[in-house]
Structure 1
Amino acid sequence: FLAVEVQGKTIDDLVSMSVTHMREFFEAHEKWTVSSQEKIIAKPIVREMLQRLLALENVGLEYLNLGRSAQTISGGEAQRIRLAAQLNSQLMGIVYVLDEPSIGLHSRDTEKLIATIKALQNVGNSLIVVEHDESIIKAADWIIDMGPGAGEEGGIVVFEGDYKKLLASKNLTAQYISKKKKVSEKKKYREGNDKFIEIFGAEEHNLKNIDVKIPLEKFVAICGVSGSGKSTLVKNILAKALSRHFYNTKDLPGKHKKIKGFEHVKKVISINQNPIGRTPRSNAATYTGVFSHIRDLFAATEEAKNRGTRFSKKTLEIEYKGFNVAQILDMDVRLALRFFARHPLIAEKLKTMEDVGLGYLKLGQSATNLSGGEAQRIKLATELARKSTGSTLYILDEPTAGLHFDDLIRVTP
């Protein structure tokens, strides 16, 4: 295949381009030096290619290259790829259900996504979107707000109507959208310790030989439009370089000249959105270590000592304060925190989970049913519950994904 070229480009060259660069390449097809017969053959193919590439751009995926491994694509990106594919399907009378398609998008790209959703609607389709993003809520024709809280405290329709009626209501979502309540009213900022991690000559992917200075003992946000190089800088270069320095990992960091400031950090903890487990038996309780302590409590009961059984039908007959293991795993974090209030080892871990906005989560919820944002916050809670050694650099990848405005207060410092 690599022996065949189109205007000096092999198929590998093409799939290594970003969506935007590939679109620009095909838009110039009228200037290609080919025969009239080849132009006739190429015209319908190029037209189809351009339609599909424009659809990808319209859902905020202009930075992706077509050769990108499916394993490296986030859930939000995968959902927007499927949405882009529907734009060219010409189907009508379809109900599309989208689950937080704006995750990972900059505000500019969210507007493109809204235009794409409207385009599908305008040809006779219906769209149901589960979303926290204010722009998408504002663009909706009809809004259904669930609540009033999460988990056992939710399950009620607290509002339904259009955007104007929502603003006139007094529910929690309306208060944040109308700015009566704010996620952050920070007036004082941390001074830090006047020490820095400095990255020099970062050139991986689309980074333009940049130098970046990151202050320590501060809350630092890396922002920018989708595909601007945020993840390349932080995950591919900084996180991999630090992991290689401290833990001798094999992953090579992205292209850069050097990094200074390793001596100011004792360890690095990079918390991503990868699953906390790949089997249904993995859950929040097992990952955080809470379940080990709960199991010890059950093992200490007289009934357990007499029976000496592990997990079986008889296990469910063993109770602690009137609850068996299954019933405890069915508790959400908030209820379990009250239930185990007198057991510091358990309560401390549960309190940290509640602090990062996971109070609604059931202890036994399968890892396979957790979102990327939930998995990341479970990892964060696990790390925060450990005894701090100080001088630790935490690297988080969109920890607020999937959170309501009111939950953001818990996560942001």
Structure 2
Amino acid sequence: KEGAILFPTFSVDSWYWNSYAYSGFFDVNKKIKDYTEEEYDMLLNGKDVKVFLETPMGSMNATYEGLIPKFNRLYIQKEGEMSLSTKKRVDKFTHIAPCITCEGTRLSKEALSCKINGANIADYTAMQLDELKETLTSINDQVAAPMVKSVTERVQHLIDIGLGYMTLDRQTASLSGGESQRVKMIRHLNSSLTDLLYIFDEPSIGLHPRDVHRLNELLVKLRDKGNTILVVEHDPDVIKIADHIVDVGPHAGKHGGEIQFVGSYPDLLKSDTLTGRFLNRHLPINDKPRAPKGFLSTEKSSRFNLKDIQATIPKEVLTVITGVAGSGKSTLIHSVFLKEYPDAIVIDQSAAHANIRSNPATYTGIMDPIRKAFGKENDVSPSLFSYNSKGACENCKGLGFTTMDLAFMDSIRTPCEVCHGKRFQDSVLQYKLDGKSISDVLELTVSEALEFFTDKKILKKIAAMEEVGIGYVTLGQALSTLSGGECQRLKLANELHKKGSIYIMDEPTTGLHMSDIEHILSIIHSLVNKGNTVIVIEHNVDIIRNADWIIDLGPEGGSAGGQILFEGAPLDLLKNKQSLTAKYL
């Protein structure tokens, strides 16, 4: 009765609480510590007992279920994703640890007792792919020969595309976007189907220049099997191998959408398109790096594949962390450095939206001053101009769409029939600010909004979005529709004018055209010039060339990586014979 069950869903007088209090098994006023062993076990573990519940909420026949099986069924073993709020509640009462019986292998003792050459299936899937390949080829049993051949071929493909550092027991949720895409490619490369159309969206993401040629070889293999390959790409080395190129532009958003060029790579180089011009350009190596104003160091770490190494990041300069995929870059910065410097501002490609209603205006905090401006201009409450409050369309509740649940199929979203996607009631759209309704304002692109607003607070945030290269995005565009690169640049805009901070950027060139590289570099340099320490994890050679300080990890990925091969200025890296990055500078 005093609330011994701490989980909020089981609070006193709730439905679940009543199912225990009125089950007839317990004295609700008795302290838990005074329960007999039988009573305590019944409360926690009892199950499959028929009871008649007579609660203030009504009477019914029910099956009694103890706290632990009920909690497990409702939250731990439930299929599908938990909402963020539920996950936060559950996390307070749970922790994840390897299973004691199978030690995290997920398999029964019977399965683990079966061995080939002294190793069980869990041992095989825990091996790095390059090691697994060697182990598989040592299996000489003739019965296994066709299976070994098939598996070895697939493993070799994964190694060829630069994933030799991975293990087969790695959870797919832990893969980066580029890794996931490459695994999917291998799956299709092993398919016997031909005459298919494949569409790849930036397959070079996350690849070191050394590995791009491996990607190219796979794309060519897929083509040569009799398939049509369509690649959306910015990487010059991937563009170079195309049989046919379609260049779209000239710029982004409303200033794009036109075919600029169609033809071969040599002809593209001669064309006067933006892509053609920048394919012929390379940024020079930084021969006058800034001097560090001290260093930020971490403890030595052997986390994952790191080999007892220490991160030593110079202050108030641009440091670029390089190395092939799987060499330990993300572990060194995200798992080691960030743990000791948790106040660093991380700008990565994870989704920026807090919920389904978020957009650039709400994310950057300019929605409140916009609402106030509308309220003041029309002498009404600012809350009228919120699609989460009074002004929301009553039919779609301010979402702009309605959802049709199709049972076993994916649900379908259709524009709201009442507001036609505008999210607001018609009466709200009658109020104007300089001739535009709140819906018109949210449909403005960032570039257009710069010319529309005069409020300095609003203009500062909009100018930052324009500065990072997302001037073509509209203020009301759902954040869930932005790409990883766009999300990253929106986060950068939000953090742009802070001073004395540590910035960590994870592959900021993702999704950027070659012509935008100089632009993102100028933003990074301006951050450093204001006294910030900027750390960039990057494969793009132009960004690496412009670093003040480079930390190169390797020499390879996985167990063959995790060592610091070089620390210092870009020109000095050129002399390092061990570094794969040096070859591409």
Fold conserved between structures, TM > 0.5: yes
Of 417, 430, 442, the match for 1:317: 430
Correspondence for 1:192? 292
Structure 2 SS opposite 1:91: coil
Of 467, 480, 483, the match for 1:355: 467
Equivalences for residues 43-122 of structure 1 within 5 A: 43-122=145-224
Amino acid at match of 1:408: I
Q: Which has the higher helix share?
A: 1
**Cα distance in 1 between the residues matched to 2:247 and 2:364:** 31
Instruction: Provide, for residues 76-122 of structure 1, a one-character-per-residue CA deviation record: whole Å limited to 9, x for no partner.
Output: 22222111100110211111011101011011111100000000000
C-alpha spacing 1:325/1:125, structure 2 compared with 1 (3 Å): same
C-alpha spacing 1:316/1:42, structure 2 compared with 1 (3 Å): farther
C-alpha spacing 1:163/1:3, structure 2 compared with 1 (3 Å): same
Residue 303 of structure 1, CA deviation = 5.7
C-alpha spacing 1:55/1:316, structure 2 compared with 1 (3 Å): farther
C-alpha spacing 1:404/1:306, structure 2 compared with 1 (3 Å): closer
Structure 2 SS opposite 1:160: strand
C-alpha spacing 1:323/1:165, structure 2 compared with 1 (3 Å): same
Structure 1: which 4+ aligned runs deviate by more than 4 Å?
A: 182-187, 305-309
Query: Is structure 2 residue 300 aligned with structure 1 residue 201?
Result: yes
Which stretch shows the higher mean deviation, 148-157 or 298-307?
298-307
Structure 2 SS opposite 1:29: coil
The answer to whether the 8 A contact 1:183-1:405 is kept is: no
Query: Is structure 2 residue 509 aligned with structure 1 residue 395?
Result: no
Of 283, 294, 313, the match for 1:214: 313
Of 459, 462, 477, the match for 1:365: 477
**Cα distance in 2 between the residues matched to 1:307 and 1:16:** 56
**Cα distance in 1 between the residues matched to 2:262 and 2:278:** 17
Identity %: 38
Residue 60 of structure 1, CA deviation = 2.6
Amino acid at match of 1:372: G
Q: For the aligned residues, what is the CA RMSD? A: 2.1
Query: Is structure 2 residue 455 aligned with structure 1 residue 346?
Result: no
The answer to whether the 8 A contact 2:292-2:317 is kept is: yes
**Cα distance in 2 between the residues matched to 1:185 and 1:301:** 53
The answer to whether the 8 A contact 1:183-1:406 is kept is: no
Amino acid at match of 1:344: K
TM-score (norm 2): 0.61
Residue 5 of structure 1, CA deviation = 3.4
Query: Would you say how many aligned residue pairs link Structure 1 and Structure 2?
Result: 375
Structure 1 SS opposite 2:143: helix
Which stretch shows the higher mean deviation, 74-83 or 140-149?
74-83
Which stretch shows the higher mean deviation, 195-204 or 373-382?
195-204
C-alpha spacing 1:192/1:92, structure 2 compared with 1 (3 Å): same
Instruction: Provide, for residues 200-254 of structure 1, a one-character-per-residue CA deviation record: whole Å limited to 9, x for no partner.
Output: 43312222222342111011000111111111111121112322xxxxxxxxxxx
Give the structure with higher Rg (CA): 2
Residue 148 of structure 1, CA deviation = 0.6
**Cα distance in 1 between the residues matched to 2:442 and 2:114:** 59
Structure 2 SS opposite 1:276: coil
**Cα distance in 2 between the residues matched to 1:87 and 1:283:** 39
Correspondence for 2:447? 334
**Cα distance in 2 between the residues matched to 1:12 and 1:240:** 31
Query: Is structure 2 residue 365 aligned with structure 1 residue 289?
Result: yes
Correspondence for 2:345? 269
**Cα distance in 2 between the residues matched to 1:131 and 1:307:** 44
Residue 186 of structure 1, CA deviation = 4.8
Amino acid at match of 1:230: K
Which stretch shows the higher mean deviation, 208-217 or 345-354?
208-217
Instruction: Provide, for residues 299-336 of structure 1, a one-character-per-residue CA deviation record: whole Å limited to 9, x for no partner.
Output: 22216449955233122232222222222222221111
Structure 1 SS opposite 2:184: helix
**Cα distance in 1 between the residues matched to 2:376 and 2:276:** 49
Of 487, 492, 495, the match for 1:383: 495
Gaps of 5+ in 1: 31-38, 244-266
The answer to whether the 8 A contact 2:200-2:230 is kept is: yes
Correspondence for 2:546? none
**Cα distance in 2 between the residues matched to 1:24 and 1:299:** 71
TM-score (norm 1): 0.85
Residue 407 of structure 1, CA deviation = 1.3
